[in-house]
Amino acid sequence: MGSVVAERVGLSVGAVAVRVGERVVSYGEFGGLVGGVARELSGLGVGVDSAVGVVMSRSLELLVAVHAVVAVGGRYVPVEVDAPAERVGFMLSTAGVGVVVVRAGDQAFGDVASVGVG
């Protein structure tokens, strides 16, 4: 993972990392979620300086997505969930985004590869 989260996972696997509503996620679970998404991103060729669109509202999945992108050396491009399709397409194209991370089951974006979280 290569981050502060990875360090905390090693030190405090069972400690609380994130609380979202009623859901409580330990560092161990959070690290596992981040690692799974990071592996998918790497499998799609995401690496150092790759632009990755993150299209999600504030949620546990958003935290996982951002940490996974950073873990593989990429840079995340936040995209508003409710933005018009034309604007999203323009943003992704202008930023050179090759992969988009969305909530599992959400729409893909044209020719851009997507990874679902959650």
- Digitized pLDDT (tens) for each residue of the chain, 118 residues in all: 556 666 666 677 888 989 988 999 998 999 999 999 999 999 999 999 999 999 998 899 999 999 999 999 999 999 998 889 899 889 999 999 999 998 887 777 777 888 888 8
Euclidean distance between CA atoms 89 and 19, whole angstroms:
33
Would you state the structure tokens that stand for residue 60, as one six-digit string? 């546990």
CA angle 90, 42, 93 (to 5 degrees): 10
Q: Per-domain residue ranges for the chain?
A: 4-117
Q: What is the CATH number of domain 4-117?
A: 3.40.50.980
Question: 75: number of CA atoms within 13 Å, CB side?
Answer: 8
Euclidean distance between CA atoms 66 and 54, whole angstroms:
7
